[in-house]
Structure 1
């Protein structure tokens, strides 16, 4: 029966007493409409013949600020109670915040015996500083009576780190790769390396990328994750680099003589190292030439491999020409669909005498290759520049604008 009665005033109290078909109502309400609705609802129930109305109307109590004042007094009392703890916690937090960096630097001192990486020391120092600051915050919240909140903050730190790790996966991967590169140090600043088809001098290595300067003067930034996961060719770790080129000689040539001439030229050149010794090997037999592969070693720090190879090829060609060693071109087949007209030498001489034009040997052989006169050519090998271009690129890299901010980590 009580569920059938809807009272807007929650402070109203109604007691219902049933005696047979007579219902006695006792209590009080603050609204007349509520009282009438109660009487109508009870009278409409089946089996009720009489409703005794003992419900009194009472005035609604004005809004009291006493509970709020009581809560404020309790809050102030607790604040005064916890004020010394709050002051102590705040002082500890500020002290640890101020001392976080010096303490972190002191804690990472043993790392100098293990690694010389500036990046490792910087990361460890910042990690220790962050832990010290979190410790100060935890102590402050505990002394303030917010133990559960302090535990929640410490727990959420790991969750936030996990979320950020997934959100910035590529950045984290490059950062971790930079840590590994700084520890393993597969190269150093100024080295010539080849990575992912890019060849250049290492100008700078930051926490995100490595900057190379190629031999065209271009700055190339490669993410550290790409460098760490791929093959790194360090051309400076061993300054000795082997160069090679191929030259073809005719089948009617003395092969041993051709090899000896090439060896003599390389052994006499100051840019070619005697140890390891140069080699001249037969690589394959072509359609019209025997192909010789010439191998030589050069100190890349002082000499350029392409420049030395250029001089050796020039000297070798001149030496073969002087020693009558043929270097024929590839065999070709020429087809004349209409045929060619054959003219005898006697007929051509008669025609020439009639025309009054002189007869020359070169006119009889129009397609024959003319050998130039090399008697006046001076081979001054010592005056040719064969210096390495690496130092020039290093100077250009040092003078160029830095394309990325950040300190070097190696």
Structure 2
């Protein structure tokens, strides 16, 4: 009907053109009819699953399986073997669950478990033995060189550092250099042994890791390394020696021991004080025995009614006559300041600290000066104070009109007489005063006491 409709719609004037057109119309009508018929024809055929998908699923469930895959439409044939029954069941269930699979043909069998065999181990052992026999001469040579260098490391190190004795006398410097050279010689022997054994890369790794390990240890033990380096610098510069009296950060004492970590002082109370070497090196060090001459000083105040020149001359005469005071440098008596009630004199004197004690000499000089000023009527007043007597002062006499001498005048005369007598006694006993230095006593106590920590002196 469609063809007839198309034929009637064209004019019949041109018979040839219409016949050609009829053939084209007929052809297209057949094509349209076939398409329409195929679209309504029911079919049970489904698309086949992808082989790659099936292979991926099998590998996921059992990577060690050996299975061949054959796909016919929606039917999947599996031929091969797996290691476990559980793996087989998982593979079948996973593939059967695919939407494009209608049937799974199971031709999978379990792989037999091979018995334990020592053949591979035996083969490896034989190969190792063959290689060992091949490298045995080189191993023996490398081991001999390593043991020889290990045995000769200390003598060689001592021989190599012998010129250091001309440069420094520090035992610590020589010890550190000797140990460092010994370690380098041992590492050289280890490198030669590994190189002859065929472990060149391992030898290079060991040598390289030595520096890395040293860097790591340096950061980890920063304080210890700082004290050790400070001990090296103290050993080289030698700002003090054993037995010297030094003062560091308010700690005064005799140097007893200097190790690679700390310096031990024995103070004048007999206490052991350990100070880290880094602290000593970074702070001010006062060495009191580097120069045996030490200056002592004290202040004494005289009244404003006294003669300043006379007081200075008396002090100079007393210090010049005392055997503990050095004549060179000469002592001095200077005016320090003017106080509320006294003129304060600063007395300077020098002593030999190796034989005399500065505090003892200062004590004796102050005692002699006080007695000399009292004998020469030079007043030593205290600070000015105001005293108020609301009821007045009652004078007491002896009760006889002819004798009007006050009692306080008599007592003052007797007091001055007693002071003069004490001054003569002080002058007479001056030679018996103990002015010896305490440093020797502290040194003896330090020598007799136990060491607070192990380790030899480095200075």
TM-score range, shorter chain: 0.7 to 0.9
| Cα pair distance change 1:254/1:7, threshold 3 Å | closer
Displacement of 1:89 in angstroms is 1.7
Which blocks of at least 5 consecutive residues in structure 2 are unaligned?
1-53
Map 1:156-235 onto structure 2 (within 5 A).
Answer: 156-235=209-288
Are the counterparts in 2 of residues 243 and 296 from structure 1 also a CA contact under 8 Å?
yes
Map 1:343-382 onto structure 2 (within 5 A).
Answer: 343=394, 361-362=406-407, 370-373=415-418, 374-375=420-421, 377-378=424-425, 379-380=427-428, 381-382=430-431
The answer to which of 276-285 and 300-309 deviates more is 300-309
Which blocks of at least 5 consecutive residues in structure 1 are unaligned?
none
**Structure 2 match to 1:406:** 455
| Cα pair distance change 1:363/1:80, threshold 3 Å | same
The answer to which of 46-55 and 255-264 deviates more is 46-55
- Show CA shifts across 1:143-192 (max 9, x none): 22222222222222222222222222222111111111110000111111
- Higher RCO, Cα 8 Å, sep 6+: 1
**Structure 1 match to 2:435:** 386
Max Rg structure: 2
Find the partner of 1:340 among 391, 396, 407.
391
- The TM-score, its normalising length taken from structure 2, stands at 0.78
- The residue matched to 2:275 in structure 1 has which SS? strand
**Structure 2 match to 1:311:** 364
Are the counterparts in 1 of residues 157 and 178 from structure 2 also a CA contact under 8 Å?
yes
| Cα pair distance change 1:45/1:340, threshold 3 Å | closer
- Matched positions, count: 400
Displacement of 1:282 in angstroms is 0.5
- The TM-score, its normalising length taken from structure 1, stands at 0.87
**Structure 2 match to 1:68:** 121
For 2:291 and 2:299, locate their aligned partners in 1 and report how far apart those are by CA, in whole Å. 24
| Cα pair distance change 1:261/1:42, threshold 3 Å | closer
Larger helix fraction of residues: 2
Counterpart check, 1:138 vs 2:191: yes
Displacement of 1:142 in angstroms is 2.0
Map 1:317-328 onto structure 2 (within 5 A).
Answer: 317-328=370-381
Provide the aligned C-alpha RMSD in A: 2.9
**Structure 2 match to 1:252:** 305
- Show CA shifts across 1:10-63 (max 9, x none): 654222233445555444456677667666665665555676666566644333
Are the counterparts in 2 of residues 7 and 34 from structure 1 also a CA contact under 8 Å?
no
For 2:277 and 2:438, locate their aligned partners in 1 and report how far apart those are by CA, in whole Å. 26
**Structure 1 match to 2:56:** 3
